[in-house]
Structure 1
Amino acid sequence: RPESTKYLTEEERKIAVDRMNRSGSGDTGAVVNKSHIKAAFLDWRIYLGGVIYFGANCALASISAFLPTIIKTFGYTNAIAQLLTVPPYACAAVMLTLFAYSSDRLQSRGFFMAASSSIAGIGYILLLTVLQNVHVKYFAVFCICGGTYTTIGIAIAWFAHNLGSETKKATGIPMFMGAP
Structure 2
Amino acid sequence: MYRWKYDRVAGFYDLLERPLNGFFNPLRKRAVSFARGRTLEIGVGTGKTLPYYPSGVELYAVDGSEKMLEMAKKRAKELGINVNFRVAEAESLPFPDNYFDTVVSSFVFCTVPNPERAMAEIKRLLKPGGVAIFLEHTKSDSKLVDYLFLLPMKLILKPLLDDDPLRETHGLVGEYFEVEKEEGHYGGVVRLIVARNRKS
TM-score (norm 2): 0.23
| Structure with the larger strand share | 2
Of Structure 1 and Structure 2, the greater helix share is in: 1
